[in-house]
Chains A and B, each alone.
Chain A
Amino acid sequence: MSREHRWEASLEHGGEPAELASEHGPPDTAHGRATEWVADHDTETRDSAAALGTRGGPGAWNAAEAGEPVALARPGFGDARWSFLYNRRDTEYAAAVPARGQVAAANRRMRDAPVSDVRGPIIHAPLWKWQVATYFWLGGMASGTAFVALACDAAGDHRSAAIARKVALGVVAPGPLLLIDDLGRPERFLNMTRIFKPRSPMNTGSWCLVAFSSSGALAVAADLVRRPKIARAAGALTAVLGSYLGSYTGVLLACTAVPVWGRSRTVLGPAFVATATATGAAATRLVLVASGLPSGHPTRRALGTIETASMLTELSISALGERRLGDAGDALSRGRPGLYFRTAKTLVAIGISLRLVARRTGPREHELASFMYLAAGLLFRFAWVYAGRESARDDAVVATTARDASTPPDGRGQVWQERALSSRRSPLPIPDVVRRAYGEAVRRTSLAVERRIRR
């Protein structure tokens, strides 16, 4: 039997799609995502059964003889060249010869031509939801707390430093769980560290999260077994790692085609660091107060000052950024993200007023202000994450942003050469064999975990 026939026979043998559906059934995972998607696409009748093999598995069939070419195959893509109906000289399809520069000029002219009607969607909206926004908040808080721990040590307040290190670890701990929950295939979370890829902010961020958590855990462990030198050294390392953990989230958002994020590329990182510092200081301050740090202690005051100063910095950076955004800034001022943003700003204003009032009244108002800053930090993250969705759906803004992408005076061709980043070189002096073996080991572990969970 020829391969073609065998293929058809196997299809016939497989029966009607309905039977296959009952045999394999739709995947029982991702049910929540599926229902949400169904809500805005009318797809209740969607049949997701695999025609060959099982869903998610390879659609495999056996070759008649190993190594034999497939029926209809033509070596060197002769198949493709043969299908060029119009490429032959007996048609007028492409008979003319273009003048020098004719095509490039036509391309430029039409791409610059005024257009009144934009038919979207141009880009897909990001999928990230509350898990990611909450992680941004917690990760930022952890890194801010790590800064505080380092500063406490430097100022000689080692008791507060030890507490801050515990707070940092406790706050960062739920982060990975939130991120795993946000994955389409949560059981494959290990693949995040399958390779080291400096040009992908999500990859470097994952590694940074691993390093930050490890070093934070080491510091806390050293505190517990009373090895202060190790604890301080690990704490300092955690703070340095925190300077990336608290800011890479901004880079992550900036490295997308979403107008409101991409245009804020130099604003997002600094703004996120400012929120991180404010929320980290606020969380540490509240824990320190609860743990009995006496009223009037310089650490309490320093933390309060840091909170307010960072929040004011965040507000001014945001204000500067919004001016450069133009129409893309609408995503931050309208709808749900706009509400989050305005509420966050109000909470900061209330916090600052409370701080002023507290000069007369006392510590209770200071504590209340810290809570306000924590809530404001969370809302800032939600505003930025959800603004991305709104922005990506605004086809007119996406189109304008693409048109405005200005050509640098030195010509983009040269810029590309410099920008190729890690794709041009190996990032670490690790033998290729080791790197590949490591990546393959992580991938296989990941798949084994998946199989175990599915069963």
Chain B
Amino acid sequence: MSTSVPDTEIAVHRAGAQRMGFFTDTSVCIGCKACEVACKQWNDLPADGSRSGKDVSYDHTGDLSGSTWRHVRFVELFEPSPLLKEEAQRALDAGAGGQLPAIPAAGTVDVAEAVGKMGDWVFMSDVCKHCTNAGCLDACPTGALIRTEHQTVVLQPDVCNGCGYCVPACPFGVVDRDPEDGRAGKCTLCYDRLEDGLEPACAKSCPTDSIQFGPHDELVELASRRVAELHSRGIGGAYLYGAGDEPEDQLAGGLGAFFLLTEPPERYGLPANADSPVQENVVPATVAAVGAGLLATAGVVLAFATAARRRRGTRAGASW
């Protein structure tokens, strides 16, 4: 499904430029966080310190922010995936037996029971989605956020005044304002590297090619084949988040950076549906608001007219 943004929204024009994007395949992600490090290094982003505790898993980054533009989310699942169960069953059927030899420290281990208690762990390298209908771009009052010739959404740091409107306008919780710097920050899809014909730093550093960069339509085609491949291998839960949808199901008009996932989106902290909140709401909200404003003006004028008429011959106004 080809998606494109209106030509007039593109701020930088270049002959032969095409939509570029990321395809992040979580089925081959090993959670090494090389992409996070590469992104920090190339974009000269400061360290965020580290968080640890009960709720934050082994993932010490926590979230995308103004100074973290790639974030590998660790998703711990407290029951084995159907695939894992199936594999264990197959191994058992093949003759591994129901009981392992006794281990001195643990006693006898029941393999089926042990597999049943196993958790599963999936990783997802999250990044700005470079939406077709970009909420941040619609909201930005200064024009700091622009659409480039690669149809990516880039924030110009020399224009941004840190108003913070893009932050709640992003339905994916990507862009954020850096509290020290005062400006908003997010993935540029390495616009500076793209200008020099280099692929983005995160994709370059990814050791398993979980992050792939390229022309958007080529990536969608590749990703669709990957989904079919995984389906044929029995991973029925594989799907694309942000590409390959029917037009009415598209996320924010189609995502420039999309993902192959194997769990429902909320497990990765992603909304099941999303669109630019500005494009969704601005027309009905403005009509209601301005209508109410004009009504209020009329109401005030009317109240005065009524009061002036009542002035004659009444004493009700005495207490005022």
Instruction: Tell me which residues from 102 to 129 in chain A have a Cβ below 8 Å from any Cβ of chain B.
Output: 102-104, 106-115, 117-128
With A111-B265, A188-B142 given, name 19 new contacts (CB 8 A): A70-B198, A77-B20, A107-B239, A107-B249, A124-B168, A126-B167, A147-B296, A184-B162, A184-B163, A194-B143, A248-B286, A250-B289, A265-B284, A269-B286, A273-B295, A298-B311, A302-B308, A366-B319, A411-B247
Q: Is the CB of A191 within 8 A of B142?
A: yes
Does chain A have a CB within 8 A of B75? yes
Q: How distant is A167 from chain B, measured CB to nearest CB, in Å? A: 14
Closest to B9 in A: A423
Q: How distant is B311 from chain A, measured CB to nearest CB, in Å? A: 5
Between A and B, 28 residue pairs with Cβ closer than 8 Å are A27-B180, A69-B197, A70-B197, A94-B222, A97-B228, A107-B241, A115-B266, A119-B75, A119-B266, A120-B269, A126-B168, A143-B293, A155-B307, A183-B182, A192-B161, A199-B278, A200-B141, A242-B293, A262-B280, A296-B318, A296-B319, A302-B303, A306-B300, A399-B272, A402-B272, A420-B6, A423-B9, A425-B8
The 6 residue pairs across chains A and B that have the minimum distance between CB atoms: A184-B162, A269-B289, A243-B293, A184-B182, A43-B49, A402-B271
Q: Is the CB of A46 within 8 A of B214?
A: no
Chain B residues with Cβ below 8 Å from A92 are 229
The interface-forming segment of B31-39, B91-99, B106-114, B230-238 is B230-238
A261 to B168 alpha-carbon distance, docked (Å) = 10
Q: Which of B144, B179, B196, B301 contacts A30 (CB under 8 A)?
A: B179
Q: Is the CB of B268 within 8 A of A119?
A: yes
Assuming A41-B48, A199-B278, A447-B158, is B244 touching A107 (CB within 8 A)? Answer: yes
Instruction: Tell me which residues from 279 to 310 in chain B have a Cβ below 8 Å from any Cβ of chain A.
Output: 279-286, 288-297, 299-301, 303-308, 310
Q: Is the CB of A184 within 8 A of B227?
A: no
Instruction: Tell me which residues from 187 to 214 in chain B have a Cβ below 8 Å from any Cβ of chain A.
Output: 194, 196-199, 203-204, 209, 212-214
A403 to B265 alpha-carbon distance, docked (Å) = 11
Instruction: Tell me which residues from 250 to 286 in chain B have a Cβ below 8 Å from any Cβ of chain A.
Output: 250, 253, 261, 263-275, 277-286
Q: Is the CB of A398 within 8 A of B299?
A: no
Count of B interface residues, CB-CB < 8 Å: 139
Q: Which of A72, A106, A266 contacts B238 (CB under 8 A)?
A: A106
Does chain B have a CB within 8 A of A83? yes
Does chain A have a CB within 8 A of B138? yes
Chain A residues with Cβ below 8 Å from B245 are 104, 107-108
Does chain A have a CB within 8 A of B46? yes
Chain A residues with Cβ below 8 Å from B174 are 124
Chain B residues with Cβ below 8 Å from A65 are none
Q: Which of A106, A256, A300 contacts B239 (CB under 8 A)?
A: A106
Chain A residues with Cβ below 8 Å from B318 are 295-296
Assuming A43-B48, A79-B198, A97-B225, is B281 touching A265 (CB within 8 A)? Answer: yes
Q: Which of A121, A150, A242 contacts B301 (CB under 8 A)?
A: A150
Q: Which of B46, B141, B311 contacts A206 (CB under 8 A)?
A: B141
Q: Is the CB of A301 within 8 A of B317?
A: yes
Chain A residues with Cβ below 8 Å from B240 are 103, 106-107
Q: Is the CB of B239 within 8 A of A194?
A: no
Candidate in B133, B165, B177 with the most chain A CB atoms within 10 angstroms: B165
Chain B residues with Cβ below 8 Å from A298 are 304, 307-308, 310-311, 317
Q: How distant is A20 from chain B, measured CB to nearest CB, in Å? A: 11
Q: Is the CB of B285 within 8 A of A255?
A: yes
Does chain A have a CB within 8 A of B139? yes
Does chain B have a CB within 8 A of A337? no
Q: How distant is B136 from chain A, measured CB to nearest CB, in Å? A: 10
Q: Is the CB of A84 within 8 A of B212?
A: yes
A114 to B184 alpha-carbon distance, docked (Å) = 34
Q: Which of B144, B293, B317 contacts A246 (CB under 8 A)?
A: B293
Chain A residues with Cβ below 8 Å from B241 are 107, 111
Q: Which of A110, A152, A360 contacts B265 (CB under 8 A)?
A: A110
Chain A residues with Cβ below 8 Å from B175 are 124
Assuming A81-B214, A156-B308, A184-B181, is B20 touching A103 (CB within 8 A)? Answer: no
Q: How distant is A327 from chain B, measured CB to nearest CB, in Å? A: 15
Interface residues as binary, A350-392 with B (CB distance below 8 Å gives 1, 0 otherwise) = 0000000011111100100000000000000000000010001
Chain A residues with Cβ below 8 Å from B181 are 27, 30, 48, 55-56, 184
Q: Is the CB of B285 within 8 A of A103?
A: no
Q: How distant is B266 from chain A, measured CB to nearest CB, in Å? A: 4
For chain A, the bracket of interface size reads 35 or more
Q: Is the CB of A191 within 8 A of B49?
A: no
Q: Is the CB of A70 within 8 A of B182?
A: no
Closest to B74 in A: A119
Q: Is the CB of B169 within 8 A of A255?
A: yes
Does chain B have a CB within 8 A of A175? no
A318 to B108 alpha-carbon distance, docked (Å) = 64
Q: Is the CB of B222 within 8 A of A359?
A: no
Q: Which of A43, A184, A255 contacts B139 (CB under 8 A)?
A: A255
Chain A residues with Cβ below 8 Å from B9 are 423-424
Interface residues as binary, A122-143 with B (CB distance below 8 Å gives 1, 0 otherwise) = 1111111000000000000001
Q: Is the CB of B182 within 8 A of A155?
A: no
Does chain A have a CB within 8 A of B50? yes
Q: Is the CB of B141 within 8 A of A33?
A: no
Q: Is the CB of B317 within 8 A of A257?
A: no
Q: Is the CB of A191 within 8 A of B161?
A: yes
Q: Which of A80, A99, A266 contacts B213 (CB under 8 A)?
A: A80
Closest to B78 in A: A117
Q: Is the CB of B299 within 8 A of A108?
A: no
Assuming A257-B170, A262-B277, is B183 touching A184 (CB within 8 A)? Answer: yes
Instruction: Tell me which residues from 185 to 209 in chain A have a Cβ below 8 Å from any Cβ of chain B.
Output: 185-186, 188-189, 191-192, 194-195, 197, 199-203, 205-206
Instruction: Tell me which residues from 47 to 90 in chain B have a Cβ below 8 Å from any Cβ of chain A.
Output: 47-51, 63, 73, 75
The interface-forming segment of A213-221, A222-230, A274-282, A340-348 is A274-282
